[in-house]
Amino acid sequence: MSAERPSTSFKFRGGCFHALVLKPETPLSTWLADVDALLARSPGFFAEKSVVIDVSGLSLTRKIFLDLLDELSKRGIRILGVEGANPSDFDGRVPFLARSQTEKSKSTAAPVLAPSTPSPASSLLIEAPVRSGQLVVCPDGDVTVVASVASGAEIVASGSVHVYGTLRGRVLAGAYGNQRARIFCRRLEAELIAIDGHYIVADEIGIHLRQAPIQAWLDGDALKIATMA
Amino acid sequence: MAQVMVVTSGKGGVGKTTTTAALGAALARQGQRVVVVDFDVGLRNLDLVMGAERRVVYDLIHVVQGTAKLSQALIRDKRIETLFLLAASQTRDKDSLSDDGVERVIGELRPSFDWVICDSPAGIERGASLAMRHADFAVVVTNPEVSSVRDSDRIIGLLDSITDKAKHGEPMDKLLLLTRYDPIRAGRGEMLSIDDVLDILCLPLLGIIPESREVLQASNMGAPVTLNNPKSAPARAYSDAARRLMGELVPLVVPSDKSTLLNKLFGRRAA
């Protein structure tokens, strides 16, 4: 039937995307209450985000799983896919993601600290001031700024961020899952700093750290800041 | 060939139009051929400050759209014959300005003038980006106050990214003009100091214009402050800035009005 049409090549490619992975815990009712509490604090938390739910180790029945999907969609959380489940257990409402259960358990045992070992060549050196409204993204390495970062500017790096001037804007280091990333600056007046998603805003930064030369790192789940001589 | 200068700030009400008129008049008084161009379509003000509002027949939009010739739209100042105004339209909106049209008009102005001064509208939208796009350099007007400084910083980022010069990989020169500066209040920590502003914005300083009632008085008279009362503190500061633009080395001091200082003292005592 289509033999007479000129054949158009069919294009597809593999892609790798970032998504937020939610890991429900049992009892599910308590966990859902936690989700509600989070949404009450920040209603837009899941807005515009692609969410994957990780049900590995939960051994849910089909009915409970489908109820969970309903509960999440009621809260406006859009589920991109499910990981850690056996595809034959559930109907096709949500796609199952390719990472298998065994692989997943391996990666939980040893969290990926430096994805694809970023080469120093992909690091970014910025010699001009980073101005308000400017967004610097370095998906594969460190960012070094030999000037100031203005209030309203933002730096996002997979690795560490070094600012050899006053840091007045926002810095998100280890933004793609690197707990060993650090933030260094000569003078801290930042609006927000974050490492691997753990953030602290200006109001929460101790007075003795303000305007001081500091470094910030992650100690477990806690973001630590200390002055440097 | 003219140098094309954009006067911009991001924030409104910091003194872009005052600066455009004052610098334009000060340069023209030095014998330079100057045209000031109002890009604030829909909220035009430069004609009022220049005292030419009753003589506007054709404006920038007419020239951009080709319904009037440039020579018909240029309004010569009554006081200085080398000073011209190209007014904005009050009845149209910013969408009436096309990028090609603006580029053509700036190109037509270049051969006949020494200075083309573009008065940018506030904000970072279309009007502001059109005003800065074809400029050779920018004068960033900032008040010693945090929101103004942050908006200026944002504008500096845009100057480095969306102007023709930036797109061709050339550096875009930017000069800082600090306006409404009050040394007494800055000394008491009630406003940002000059050092604070320079520390944040990292730009060379073109001048510091002191806060003065002369500025409002001049705009109400329909005259650039540098013509209305050339001896006043802001007029002297603007004239110094104009001389720096022409390449003279003028030491940077903040002029003050003695009478203004006295008025302030009395004003406080009364209050």
- Residue numbers of the domain that contains A63: 20-102
pLDDT tier, A117 (very low <50, low <70, confident <90, very high otherwise): very low
pLDDT at residue A112 in the model: 39
CB B200 within 8 A of CB A150: yes
Domain contains A10: no
Domain end call among A102, A133, A164: A102
Q: Closest Cα to residue A183, out of A197, A169, A195?
A: A195
Domain shared by A95 and A168, yes or no? no
Domain shared by A72 and A137, yes or no? no
Domain shared by A82 and A130, yes or no? no
Domain shared by A98 and A129, yes or no? no
**Read out DSSP for B12-49?**
SSSSHHHHHHHHHHHHHHTT--EEEEE--TTS--HHHH
Domain end call among A71, A102, A133: A102
pLDDT at residue B14 in the model: 96
In B, which residues are within 8 Å of A152 by CB distance?
Answer: 150, 153-154
Average pLDDT, chain B: 91
Pairwise CA distance, residues A66 & B111, whole Å: 74
List of residues 6+ apart from B16 with CB closer than 8 A: B7, B8, B9, B119, B120, B122, B141
Put simply, the answer to whether B154 touches A168 (Cβ < 8 Å) is: no
Put simply, the answer to whether B157 touches A168 (Cβ < 8 Å) is: no
Put simply, the answer to whether A152 touches B200 (Cβ < 8 Å) is: no
pLDDT at residue B261 in the model: 54
In A, which residues are within 8 Å of B158 by CB distance?
Answer: 133
Average pLDDT over residues A28-55: 83
pLDDT at residue A14 in the model: 63
Pairwise CA distance, residues B181 & B144, whole Å: 6
Domain shared by A97 and A142, yes or no? no
Task: Give the largest CA-CA distance in chain A.
Answer: 77
Average pLDDT over residues B33-59: 93
Share of chain B above pLDDT 90, in %: 82
Least-confidence region, from A191-200, B32-41, B94-103: B94-103
CA distances (Å), B181 to each of B9, B17, B20, in order? 15, 17, 17
Domain shared by A206 and A151, yes or no? yes
pLDDT at residue B95 in the model: 79
pLDDT at residue A160 in the model: 96
Q: Read off the CATH number of the domain in which A74 is found.
A: 3.30.70.260
CA distances (Å), B103 to each of B7, B58, B70, B117, B133, in order? 17, 18, 13, 14, 9
Q: How many domains does chain A have?
A: 2
In B, which residues are within 8 Å of A134 by CB distance?
Answer: 157
Domain shared by A59 and A27, yes or no? yes
SS3 category, B207: strand
Pairwise CA distance, residues A131 & B155, whole Å: 8
Pairwise CA distance, residues A193 & B67, whole Å: 54
**Read out DSSP for B176-194?**
EEEEEE-HHHHHTTSS--H
Confidence check: pLDDT of A7 > 50: yes
Domain contains A179: yes
Closest approach of A215 to chain B, Cα-based (Å): 21
Taking phi over 0 as left and psi of -120 to 50 as alpha, with beta for the rest, B157 belongs to: alpha
Q: Tell me the pLDDT tens digit for each residue of B66-107.
A: 999 999 999 999 999 999 999 998 888 777 889 999 999 999
Q: Tell me the pLDDT tens digit for each residue of B159-170.
A: 999 999 999 999
In B, which residues are within 8 Å of A148 by CB distance?
Answer: 199-200, 202
CB B231 within 8 A of CB B210: no
Domain shared by A87 and A154, yes or no? no
Chain A positions touching chain B (beta carbons under 8 Å): 128-129, 131-134, 147-148, 150-153, 166, 168
Domain shared by A156 and A191, yes or no? yes
List of residues 6+ apart from A58 with CB closer than 8 A: A24, A25, A26, A84
Q: A171 versus A21: which is more confidently predicted?
A: A171
Q: Closest Cα to residue A156, out of A142, A148, A107?
A: A142
Q: Tell me the pLDDT tens digit for each residue of A129-157.
A: 999 989 999 998 999 999 999 998 999 99
Complex ipTM > 0.85: no
Domain contains A186: yes
Domain end call among A102, A134, A162: A102
Domain contains A214: yes
Q: Kindly give the residue spans of alpha helices, DSSP state H, lying in chain A.
A: 28-41, 62-74, 101-109
Q: B202 versus A9: which is more confidently predicted?
A: B202
Domain shared by A81 and A144, yes or no? no
Domain contains A211: yes
Q: Closest Cα to residue A86, out of A101, A102, A104, A103?
A: A101
End-to-end alpha-carbon separation of chain A, Å? 77
Domain contains A150: yes
Domain shared by A92 and A30, yes or no? yes
Chain B positions touching chain A (beta carbons under 8 Å): 124, 150-151, 153-154, 156-158, 160, 199-202
Name the residue among B153, B199, B202 with its Cβ closest to that of A132: B153
Cβ pairs bridging A and B (under 8 Å): 35
Closest approach of B153 to chain A, Cα-based (Å): 5
Domain shared by A149 and A81, yes or no? no
pLDDT at residue B256 in the model: 80
Put simply, the answer to whether A134 touches B199 (Cβ < 8 Å) is: no
Confidence check: pLDDT of A109 > 50: no
Ordered by where they begin, the domains of chain B are: 3-266 (3.40.50.300)
C-beta neighbour count of B252 within 10 angstroms: 14
pLDDT at residue A47 in the model: 77
Confidence check: pLDDT of B27 > 90: yes
pLDDT tier, B133 (very low <50, low <70, confident <90, very high otherwise): very high
Domain contains A110: no
List of residues 6+ apart from B192 with CB closer than 8 A: B144, B145, B146, B149, B186
Least-confidence region, from A95-99, B23-27, B187-191: A95-99
Q: Which of A127, A130, A131 has the most B C-beta neighbours within 10 Å, making it the best mutation to test the interface with B?
A: A131
Name the residue among A128, A133, A150 with its Cβ closest to that of B200: A150
* Residue B85 C-alpha from the chain's centroid: 13
pLDDT tier, A103 (very low <50, low <70, confident <90, very high otherwise): very low
- For B45, the token pair is 């003000």
Put simply, the answer to whether A150 touches B158 (Cβ < 8 Å) is: no
Put simply, the answer to whether B154 touches A152 (Cβ < 8 Å) is: yes
Pairwise CA distance, residues B96 & B211, whole Å: 36
- For B227, the token pair is 């013509």
Put simply, the answer to whether B200 touches A147 (Cβ < 8 Å) is: no
Domain contains A72: yes
Closest approach of B174 to chain A, Cα-based (Å): 13
